[in-house]
Amino acid sequence: MRAKAIVAIVSGHTRGLGAALAQTLLSRGIDVLAISRRRNGGLAAQHAGTLQEIELDLADLSALDGWLAGRPL
């Protein structure tokens, strides 16, 4: 039986609590899908391959609908 991969979704990973949470998860070997209005270059450089960043304002409902429907951002 294969172990399931653990992936955490973190919003607001560029500063504050979101950044701390993403850093902690990544340091524990957990892959992170990070969603924020802008990217976190420092975190991305430290965790290439385990951090996937999506540049998206979750308050913009039309952009969110588009992303969920598979349209490019």
User: Is 13 inside any structural domain?
Assistant: yes
pTM of the model: 0.82
Provide the number of structural domains found in the chain. Answer: 1
**What is the pLDDT confidence band of residue 5, given thresholds at 50, 70 and 90?**
confident
**59: containing domain:** 7-68
For residue range 17-71, what is the model confidence (pLDDT) as tens digits? 999 999 999 999 999 999 999 999 999 999 999 999 999 999 999 999 999 999 7
**What is the pLDDT confidence band of residue 2, given thresholds at 50, 70 and 90?**
low
Is the pLDDT score of 1 beyond 80?
Answer: no
User: Is 26 inside any structural domain?
Assistant: yes
Complete DSSP assignment for the chain: -PPPPPEEEEESTTSHHHHHHHHHHHHTT-EEEEEESS--HHHHHHTTTTEEEEE--TT-HHHHHHHHTT---
